[in-house]
Amino acid sequence: MRHELTPPAPSRITTLLADRRGFALEATLIVLVLISVLVGASVAGYVMVQRAGSVDYRGTRVTYAAEAGADAVISQLAQNMTDGILSSADLASITLPSLSGFTFATPTVTAVGATVPRTITYGPFSGLVGLNQQIDIGITATDPANNRAQVVVTANAQSIPLFQFGVFYNEDLEIHNGPTMEFAGWVHTNANLYLTPGSTNFTNFHDLITTPDSLFWQRKNTNYRQPNVRIDDAAGVAQTLNFDSRSNPGQSFVTASNSLFNGRVMTGVSGVQPLRLPLPAGMDPIQLIMPRNGGDDADTRAVKFAWKATAHITVDMAQLNNVNTCAGLTIIGSPLPTAANCALIFSGNDEAFWDGRENIGADVFNINMGALQTWANGNSARDYSIIYITFTNVNTGNVLRDFPVVRISNGSTLLWPVTVSTDRPLYIWGNFNTVGWRPASFIGDAVTFLSPIWTDAAHAVGTHVPGTNWTTPPVPNVNTTMSVYAAIAAGHSATPCDWQRAGCVVTTPPPAVASTSNYGGGLENFPRFLENWSGDDMVYRGSLVSLFQSVYAARRRWNWTTYYNAPDRDWRFDLRFRDPNNLPPGTPVVGSVVQTSFRPVF
């Protein structure tokens, strides 16, 4: 009999092994699925990151493009500010650069708020007042994928004008008025300041007084002094000056000024530094009024009035008496009027009158400002906003023969802003710029005020002996008030030396007078006078700046007893000059634009 063998029943171990092999397969499949999911997620995440990175990259690029557009706008603003003024036309003319791959919306360039004057605290113009205007610049850039970025850049446009002082002297400043003088405005000299009025009169200052050197309570050419200098303290209360840099040297001056004037009178010991006005470094300030020179560099040409003139007039002295027919006149930059109009606008006279201050007959080129502006008004080609006058064929061999000067008359009403400049002396005849005020200035070798009642006949050369003095002021009392509203930059006449300083020889006391120190005339005669003004008012509103000594109007120094009596002086800084839009044409100004903030717009 045959027996078949029956396999033994699987053991528990074998069963477990079989079960695990099945689980491993399932687990492997699960792991593979999970890996697939993870790989897919990773791939999807990578794609998303790539896409997000691409979007972020494009967004960054378009933001940088917008910022580049803002930089381009600031660069144009800085270029427009080289003249110190940002006009509405300047803002409207701003354009954006061409940047491949990007387009720009029209920029918004907005002046925010009013111009704010602020004292500059650093740099070469530290101590001056800058006129600050906030500018907001909005730039929007877009790329081909329609990614868009908008930024707003805020900039400060700062201008530093020449005419920001009541008084600025680059050399010693002397103020020794006879009749009472009222002065409002910052008074600064880069050298010494000498103060004392006449015996019964007052000098009243209503604003800050500064010098990096010393203040002396007396005349420069003698030990004469009077106790009638009054300076307002911080509360506007007039306090009488009773000390100076000699009586109170060093810190004691600061202590006395703080006690009496609340520190509103400051000298070198107070920390005052010399102020450099907005002129090219190293430029002789007298070059402001000098004729054109082919060797003038770009910086000099930018401030020299002979180059800035919109109407550069050359007068041939050989034809002076015929300029009313346009003979002897050459005008560059603007058209020469017709002969008929020249007869209304220009006239000339050899030795038209005797200048008692200079002791010489004046050869006068007259400009009727009212007639000139009426002729030029409404015609853009007739741009007589900056007028420069110089002379040819001057007899330099005989100083008593030729004394060419410019005289402005009929200027009480101006139709538009004007600056008159010349390398020669300037005379202002009658009220100027008193009706419908316009920015105006006079720039010359010296400036003289002639009253509304002035006549050449009363000062005729033939009634006077050349080389001698007038024995009395040559006309009756002016008996009227004259007003001039214009900035003045001109030469002054200086007293040569301080009688108390080494090298200044003193003779015959009392009073001790330096033998070489004839009085120059001081600030009270910076705008000069030639008439009997006794008891009459001279009203002046503007800015008095003297950076150099007169070259042509320097035949002799002041001697009031022989040719004039002084007016009562009501002189003030014209606060309108603190607005850069109100500066006279061609005013030397340093301008800059600085970015102050940057922000994206979301």
Q: Domain segments of the chain: what residues?
A: 57-162+591-601, 167-265, 285-586
Question: One-letter amino acid identity for 28?
Answer: T
SS3 67: helix
Q: Which one, of 23, 132, 27, lies nearest residue 81 by Cα?
A: 132
Q: How many residues does the chain have?
A: 602
- Whether the Cβ atoms of residue 192 and residue 213 lie closer than 8 Å to each other: yes
Q: What are phi and psi of 60, to 5 degrees?
A: -65, -45
Look up residue 434 and give its two tokens. Answer: 């008193």
Query: pLDDT (tens digit, 9 = 90+) per residue, 527-556?
Result: 999 998 989 999 999 999 999 999 999 876
How far CA 140 is from CA of 64, 143, 199, 238, in Å, comes to 11, 11, 70, 57
- What does the pLDDT read at residue 485? 98
Low pLDDT (below 50) residues in the chain: 1-2, 5, 13, 16-17, 46-47, 49-53, 506-517
- What does the pLDDT read at residue 196? 94
How far CA 312 is from CA of 134, 315, 447, in Å, comes to 36, 10, 20
Look up residue 327 and give its two tokens. Answer: 């003979």
Measured CA to CA, the distance from residue 550 to residue 446 in angstroms comes to 6
- What does the pLDDT read at residue 510? 34
Measured CA to CA, the distance from residue 66 to residue 151 in angstroms comes to 6
**Count of other CB atoms within 10 angstroms of residue 52:** 11
150 CB-contact burial (10 Å; exposed 0-12 / middle 13-18 / buried 19+) = middle
Q: Which one, of 198, 193, 186, 166, lies nearest residue 495 by Cα?
A: 193
Q: Which one, of 577, 548, 237, 602, lies nearest residue 439 by Cα?
A: 577
Query: pLDDT (tens digit, 9 = 90+) per residue, 159-200?
Result: 888 899 999 999 999 999 989 999 999 999 999 999 999 877
**Count of other CB atoms within 10 angstroms of residue 139:** 26
Asked whether the bond before 117 is cis by omega within 30 degrees of 0, the reply is no
Measured CA to CA, the distance from residue 440 to residue 475 in angstroms comes to 30
SS3 396: coil
**Cα 537–541–546 angle (5° rounding)?**
105
